[in-house]
Structure 1
Amino acid sequence: MRIAFLGTPDFAVACLAELVASGHEIVAVYSQPPAPRGRGQDLKPSPVHAFAEGLGLPVRTPVSMKTPEEIEAFQALDLDAAVVVAFGQILVKAVLDAPREGCFNLHASLLPRWRGAAPIQRAIMAGDAVTGVQVMRMSEGLDEGPILMSEQVRIDALDTAGSLHDKLAAVGSRILPVALGAIERGGARETPQSEEGVTYAKKIKSAEARIDWTRPAAEIDCHIRGLSPFPGAWFEAPSEKGPVRVKALLSRVEDAAGEPGTVLDDSLLIACGDGAVRLLKAQREGKGAQDAGDFIRGFPLKAGTVLA
């Protein structure tokens, strides 16, 4: 089929690669415009943009898909279908209606749970045991269209948003070409979403990243893992030069008690409102991420230290 691919982050790269490998004609790739990245804040293309250019595919980076000019350009592509994977823009009806077969989205949750921008992080933060990947027909509503294909993925006790992202991307890139094959043959079955169990995965805000040690350990553990590696749940630790911000990147719950925020041993066991968490990976401000052993050799947090 003649396909346009709309995607931006790493999550979408594997999907684009599999669509190319499956023999579809990728007429155009759409991605968010180049943005400041890295220490120098130089303008750099998105992961999808860079990958597509490496394959010699035509790339378009409109600031908005809602302008008459961009809508007309999209309609002129004469598409059989469009595939959207974490593109980052809302598509208007004129764009959704342009391809003959329609527009299809790969979404990283089991809809209708976690519609919206941050389904991977929110699933872990909520303590979900299972999530998944689904291919859906797009409609004007936010992630409200019928489901064509679905596969569940277990969330393990040590999964972070980063590790779960990689699992879901692998599954998504595998089922997406299968779904498109069914669409091409006219054999795709569409199942409307349930009207019950709807939740929304709001965009992660920096203000919610700080750890509140008065919360139960199970909640703090989910908070830490759901925000790892980015933006990173954080706390402040005392030092001779003043408070130091530390990102907690991996943890596990342990059966221990103490005043919330108090370090209980010399190996990063920290008391919470109910129970305790042991940090397994952390990152001091201005330093790289480290496993717990390496972290405490360079920045020991002794038993009795109180964290904020």
Structure 2
Amino acid sequence: MKIVFFGTPDYVVPFLENLHKAFKARSESPIASVVTQEPKLAGRDQVKTFSPVDKWAYEHKKPIFFDPLDIVSYNISADIGILASYGKIIPESVINHFRYGIVNIHPSLLPLWRGSSPIQASIVSGEKITGVTFMKLDPLLDHGPIISQFKDEILETDDSLSLRSRLFERASEAIPSLITAYINGKVKTHPQDHEKATFTRELKKEDGFIPPEILSATLQGATFQGEWKISFVKNYSLVPSAQCLARFIRAMEPWPGAWSEIKISRYKDIKRLRLKILKAHVEEKSNVIVLDSVQLEGKSPVTWKQFSEGYPEAIF
């Protein structure tokens, strides 16, 4: 079996490691090549930085491509593609290049939360259960038939990082046996129920914004009149509550981070400054949200108590 792996970040490298180990014992490594995002200039010195998948492929002497179409142009011989957080659209000609197509690893129970931010959407929505879907890629967004799924609990302490780590760790452990069964015809696909599809998009920095009036109300245990539109989920709104806000803060961690704006009268013209909410919890008895730690723009992180004592005149 020969595989082309499409992926970029560090948390998908275990897929390469597990595939490499599982099949190398039987013959040579199954990884024919990788497709990953191009190196980026990072930091003050604009140092060229290669993706973790790029580094893995370089260390294991595997061909590296930055354009999916190169797989077709160079006629790379492989039976199947595996896609995990690559970050770009795969052209149909590339999908059709493989005898068994491309298997996409998506961290939600499709058709729920198609798109780029399924983990954040699962936490924000208050779901108790999420999972990973292994699906056969087609030209539409997370639309193809399902090969397999597994479920996992969303813990009350989960943020996007912890949930993602757990889901991708389990998926990377499952991938060698699943791919073997799929290629050997022991796994049957079934179509998604497209009428139940929900959609997310790639997160932007402004998606972490909490309207000050919502934050102020929940800090006081008051009921906010109206709905809160969650910008990165298509046609999706929530009725604000302390629990809802706490989930949102966890969902935005580590990026883009949850933030609001606060007025500080000591500054000329009563400036509105950005206040990042680093950590919060809900007091169950009073049903209010309690901010544990925050960071005012241009300042270091502090506890909410330290902030309140340092800026007693601050209001949302």
Residues 1:217 and 2:242 aligned together = yes
Distance 1:71 1:34 in 2: 22
Deviation at 1:184, TM superposition (A): 3.1
* Equivalent residue, structure 1, for 2:282: 253
Q: CA deviation at 1:90?
A: 1.2
In the TM superposition, what are the counterparts of 1:99-248 in structure 2 within 5 Å? 99-212=98-211, 213=215, 214=217, 215-236=240-261, 238=264, 245-248=274-277
Offset, 1:8: 0.9
For the 8 Å contact 1:82–1:103, the answer to whether it is kept is: yes
Q: State the shift of 1:4 in Å.
A: 0.4
Counterpart for residue 262 of structure 1: none
| Percent identical residues | 31
1:81 aligns with 2:97: no
Alpha-carbon deviation of 1:207? 2.1
* Structure 2 counterpart of 1:11: 11
Q: Aligned pair 1:71/2:80, yes or no?
A: no
Q: Deviations over 1:143-168 (max 9, x none)?
A: 11111121111111111011111111
Query: 1:305: Cα distance to partner?
Result: 5.8
Give SS of 1:300's match.
Answer: helix
**1:307 shift after superposition:** 4.4
Match of 2:93 in 1: 94
Which residue of structure 1 aligns with residue 40 of structure 2? 35
How many angstroms apart in 1 are the aligned matches of 2:313 and 2:151? 42
Shift in Å, 1:71: 3.1
Q: Which amino acid aligns with 2:248?
A: H
- Relative to structure 1, the CA distance from residue 286 to residue 70 in structure 2 (aligned partners, 3 Å threshold; closer, same or farther) is farther
What are the ranges of 5 or more consecutive residues in structure 1 without an aligned counterpart?
258-274
* Conserved? CA contact 2:41–2:47, under 8 Å: yes
Report the 3-state secondary structure (helix = DSSP H, G, I; strand = E; otherwise coil) of the residue aligned with 2:246: helix
Letter in 2 for 1:134: T
- Following superposition, the deviation at residue 239 of structure 1 comes to 8.7
Q: Give 1:54's aligned residue.
A: 59
Tell me the residue number matched to 1:270. Answer: none
Q: CA deviation at 1:247?
A: 2.2
Partner residue in 1 for 2:291:
279
Structure 2 regions of 5+ residues with no counterpart? 24-28, 218-239
Distance verdict in 2 for CA 1:165–1:53, change over 3 Å? same
Q: Tell me the distance in 2 between the aligned counterparts of 1:196 and 1:42.
A: 46
| Distance apart, 1:252 and its partner CA | 2.1
For residue 22 of structure 1, give the secondary structure of its aligned residue in structure 2: helix
Cα-to-partner distance string for 1:114-137 (whole Å, 9 max, x where unaligned): 111111111112222111011111
What TM-score does the superposition give when structure 1 sets the normalisation length? 0.81
Corresponding letter in the other structure for 1:60: F
Between 197-206 and 234-243, report the one with greater CA deviation: 234-243
Structure 1 residue 19: deviation in Å?
1.3
Which one-letter code corresponds to 1:124 in the other structure? I
Alpha-carbon distance between aligned partners in 1 of 2:244 and 2:57, rounded to the nearest angstrom = 40
Change (3 A) 1:27 1:279: same
Cα RMSD for the two superposed structures: 2.6
1:73-104, Cα deviation, whole Å (9 max, x unpaired):
2xx11211010001111112211111111111
Give the TM-score of the pair, scaled to structure 2.
Answer: 0.80
Distance 2:315 2:33 in 1: 51
Instruction: Check conservation: 1:149, 1:175, Cα contact below 8 A.
Output: no
CA distance in 2, matches of 1:250, 1:173: 30
**Which amino acid letter does the alignment assign opposite residue 57 of structure 1?**
K
